[in-house]
Amino acid sequence: MLSLVGIIVGLALLIFLAFRGKSLLWAAPVCALLVAFTGGLDMFTAYTQNYMEGMVGFVKEWFPAFMLGAIFGQIMQDSGGAVSLTKAVVKLVGRDKAIFASVLCGGVLAYGGISGFVIIFSMYPIVLGLFKEADITRRLIPATIMTGAFTFAMSAMPGTPTIQNLIPTEYFGTTATAAPVIGIVCTIIMFVGPVLWLSWRAKKFRAAGEGYDEPDEMPEEVPDDKLPPAWCCFIPFVVIVILLNVFKMNIVVCLLAGILLSLVFLFLMGKVRGSVYLTNVGETCNKGCQSAVSAIMNTAAAVGFGSVVKITPGFAFLSELVLGIGGSPLIAESIAINVLAGATGAPPPAVSRSPWTLWRITLFRCPRPPAFLWRCSTGLAPSPAAD
């Protein structure tokens, strides 16, 4: 029981320190040592072996994907490609549908492989303008952008090139398009539900006399004549998705192809229009790599925390507890993965280190194919390092 309490306290402390702006590079090991102490483990061994093996193993396996994804996103940000594509989607949907257009734009960018942080910075000036025209309070902007960038396009949409969608494929033997019908249904629910709720909240705020108010500092919006054509940014997105899902290529190859294609299109269109969309490719790559290091090291630190948690008696007790869940095996698995994700503190390690528990729950009780189990395993994402 003490070990289980230690896991809960360690996780709560980790989340608290992360929200206080503390680096996970030291916060995660400290919380892991607390978990190890309450679990009766050798603290030195827990840190130097279990923690570091989990952390280093994650970096070794996923750093190329993180790095290339960050560089691709930085190219889209520095060139104005993400802004150009966002404006094209808004023009297609209509500026009068501010919330719907904003969520859709975030989903399109996320599905194309753009980092959530790049999406936020690229979309904010445009969403601000949309909300101003629609007289919607700025308080709904974070939820609107994050609905598109961090929900359905991250794990529900079949074929999305995000790590949340790719990591479980190794353990379930599936592909990025596993269980497409379930994925599409979940995508519709995760898209329509928040859009309706945000629209309802906007009306309630407006009825209460709270509409749009100007921020203290207005972000500068890039003029259309300085942006690259939307199609030369959209085609690399399509190529990444096709190479990943049709030709079944490794995500590293897919992202590399997207990067090269983006650079070629931006260079050629720059020559045609007499513009320079990327003033310094080397500096763009540098910023992308710096973002990748920060992202993967913070995520890996949380993975290390999860690696210590999973060897404690408390986690073993928790695993046996979720094994006893009755009823539908699919519901049992969904609950199990959420509980174990919360216990380990990070979605990637929770999903990647819980397959044996999930198989024990489902293999002998559920005649469903692995694709069903994989789609049911996406859920809670409590990690302060997620994306």
pLDDT at residue 365 in the model: 52
Share of residues in the chain with pLDDT > 90 (%) = 56
For 315-339, what is each residue's pLDDT tens digit? 888 877 876 777 676 677 677 777 7
Geometric angle at alpha carbon 258, from 83 and 154, rounded to 5°: 65
Average pLDDT, the chain: 85
pLDDT at residue 115 in the model: 80
pLDDT band at 350 (very low <50, low <70, confident <90, very high): very low
pLDDT at residue 166 in the model: 83
CB 81 within 8 A of CB 114: no
Q: Which range (81-90, 216-225, 281-290, 363-372) has the least confidence?
A: 363-372
Q: How far apart are CA 114 and CA 258, in angstroms?
A: 11
pLDDT at residue 374 in the model: 67
Q: Give this prediction's pTM.
A: 0.84
> Which amino acid is located at 1 in the chain?
M
Residue 18 in tokens: 């992360």
Q: What's the average model confidence in pLDDT over 358-362?
A: 49
For 240-281, what is each residue's pLDDT tens digit? 999 999 999 999 999 999 999 999 999 999 999 888 899 899
pLDDT at residue 387 in the model: 43
CB 157 within 8 A of CB 183: yes
For 200-238, what is each residue's pLDDT tens digit? 999 999 999 999 988 887 777 778 888 999 998 899 999
pLDDT band at 147 (very low <50, low <70, confident <90, very high): very high
For 89-102, what is each residue's pLDDT tens digit? 999 998 889 999 99
Q: How far apart are CA 351 and CA 354, in angstroms?
A: 6
